Amino acid sequence: MSKKFSHLDDDNNPSMVDISSKLESKRIAKAYAKVILNNEILNLISENKIRKGNVLEVANIAGIQAAKKTHELIPLCHSLSLSYVKIQFEISKNKNLIEITSEACSVGKTGVEMEALTAVSVAALTIYDMCKSLDKEIIITDIKLKHKSGGKSGIFNA
């Protein structure tokens, strides 16, 4: 692999990327995560009968909040002014899972991939937290970037 890691300086020390000379552009990123639960818990979530509250509403707020705080969680991320963060949940009872998608947008000098990924990750962790008293075998999986656009590297679709 001949590419240099962007977060290492010339002496191989961790370094925040200098974006001062980059042009601003509209940046969009979409991410995905999957939470696998048993059918009983999925039914309780669907019927809003989890004792801690509305699981998907709380997970939505948690994911949005996390996206806004990504730079505080990931050491070398830039702080961004986000234009929006959207999170969607799709319950699939026949597969015993909840699919989470996020979309983050900013107009700036660096991408929003980490914000979109953080949003789905924390939304998934929130679902786990709200349901863990009923089942410790909840699985969070398939966290990945699905799309990014903006900036000089162009469009990526998974």
Instruction: Tell me the two tokens of residue 131.
Output: 């349901």
Q: Is 105 exposed, middle or buried (0-12, 13-18, 19+ CB in 10 A)?
A: buried
Catalytic residue, chosen from 9, 10, 18, 129, is 129
- The answer to whether residue 129 is catalytic is yes
Which residues are catalytically annotated?
A: 129
